[in-house]
Amino acid sequence: MDRQIERLLAKETKRQNGGIELIASENYPSKETRSVCGSIAIAKYAEGYPGKRYYGGCENIDAIERLAQERAKKLFGCVYANVQPHSGSQANFAAYKALLNLGDRILSLRLNDGGHLTHGSPVSFSSKLYDFHFYDLGEDGRLDYDLIARRLDEVNPHLFLAGYSAYPYEIDFRKLQEVINAHNLHSDVHTYFMVDMAHIAGIIAAKLTQNPVDYADIVTSTTHKTLRGPRGGLILSNRLDLAKKIDSAIFPYAQGGPLENIIAGKAVAFKEAASPKFVSYMKKVLDNTKACNDELARRGAKVSGTENHLFLLDVLASFGIDGKTAQAELESIGITANKNTIHGETLPPSRASGIRIGFAAATTRGCSRPQAIEIADLIYDCLTGAKPKSALKAKVASIAKRWKDVNDLTF
């Protein structure tokens, strides 16, 4: 093996094994999934779709991709699945292309309130190609469906976008569909309904929250995060009339050859996510997240509360520091989190007033509810300076040492 890469990977393994991963968008795929992603499928070029490839020798690759499609459709209860997107961003790019013309209006959540870069950020392709308008959260930091209805009438968008990167509460997709349908009854522009479920895909797969596929025209997702698969994207729909448009928006419009080794990994992850073990896992993720949130609240920190796998900690209000500083302080004791804007944000995104905390990765390694509470105390003591960093770092290492090795995670 390349010795330089080997040393760097060893250092990264040591970092991950010795620390606590609380970045809400990160997780650990199973050993089986990782093995498949490094399989011989990595060597095959397969532009096109099963049965319609531009290269020969794809009979086995076709079978793998069809299996991934079927498992995704069964897992999420839909009639169409495209498993080729290299990422969630490319899945969103293709979904916009399938539904819209360049310059069409999109209504999405304001980015400081939890939207994603591809949901209209000024630095993203999305805002360069489409006309983005935004809706805000209510005063309580939750979706305000009456406000959304008013914004729909004001903007008259071609697409309404739901699904978020830093929203800690349940989303009523049924209600959103009702609001959009009511708007479409008196609008001269038809508004499509799109959901980016990247963060909550695992919760949806475990049937612990509403399934947006039942209500939206198109649903996009990543396959890592709560779903515990390899890094990649996914597009789902119950609208077969959109299938050809979506397929052509991925290939040949947005991508060339699909990553068939990653698609094989997705197939393994979809099978794992359909098991009772996965449901049990997701329940533990939700329980651990709430336990950490509630302990921080008990100790006086300002937290968002949670109904999913993540919550937001207002470090500016709680500790008088910005999110960038809080992220660095936690990293110095072995806890990895990320700075994040919050509802009512007053600082630029590069600093932010909060941090985002999630328990999908820690729970995969074996985090228990008592340990989640212990982690909350470590966060609080670190950010208040209540205890020496050396003692906190040793405690973090002690907790992480009791968990499973990141290179040996079976499902």
DSSP state letter for 66: H
Determine which one of 222, 223, 341, 363 is catalytic: 222
Is position 47 annotated as part of the catalytic site? yes
Determine which one of 151, 228, 231, 395 is catalytic: 231
Look up tokens 């074996």; give the residue.
366
Could you tell me the two tokens for 404?
A: 């499973």
Please name which of 271, 264, 270 lies closest in space to residue 42, comparing C-alpha atoms: 264
Residue 105 CB: number of other CB atoms within 10 A? 17
Is position 341 annotated as part of the catalytic site? no
Dihedral pair phi/psi, residue 161, rounded to 5°: -115, 125
Is position 239 annotated as part of the catalytic site? no
Determine which one of 21, 26, 113, 196 is catalytic: 196
Determine which one of 31, 44, 47, 142 is catalytic: 47
Residue 287 CB: number of other CB atoms within 10 A? 15
Determine which one of 31, 34, 44, 45 is catalytic: 45
Given the DSSP bridges, would you call strands 233-237 and 80-82 parallel, antiparallel or unpaired?
antiparallel
Is position 231 annotated as part of the catalytic site? yes
Query: CA 339 to CA 293: how far, in whole Å?
Result: 16
Contacts of residues 131-134 at CB distance under 8 Å and 24 or more positions apart, as own/partner, are 131/103, 131/104, 131/105, 131/106, 132/105, 132/106, 132/107, 132/108, 133/105, 133/106, 133/107, 133/108, 133/157, 134/107, 134/108, 134/109, 134/110
Dihedral pair phi/psi, residue 319, rounded to 5°: -130, 0
Q: What DSSP assignment string belongs to 160-197?
A: EEE--SS--S---HHHHHHHHHHHHHH-SSPPEEEEE-
3-state secondary structure of 310: strand
Is position 128 annotated as part of the catalytic site? no
Is position 364 annotated as part of the catalytic site? no
Query: CA 287 to CA 289: how far, in whole Å?
Result: 5
229 touches 254 (CB < 8 A)? no
Distance from the Cα of residue 194 to its chain's centroid: 15
Largest CA distance in the chain: 65
Could you check whether the bond before residue 29 is cis, i.e. omega within 30 degrees of 0? no
Q: What DSSP assignment string belongs to 334-364?
A: TEE-EEE--TT--S-TTT-SEEEEE-HHHHH
Angle at 273 between CA 50 and CA 9, to 5 degrees: 85
- Active-site residue numbers? 45, 47, 196, 222, 225, 231
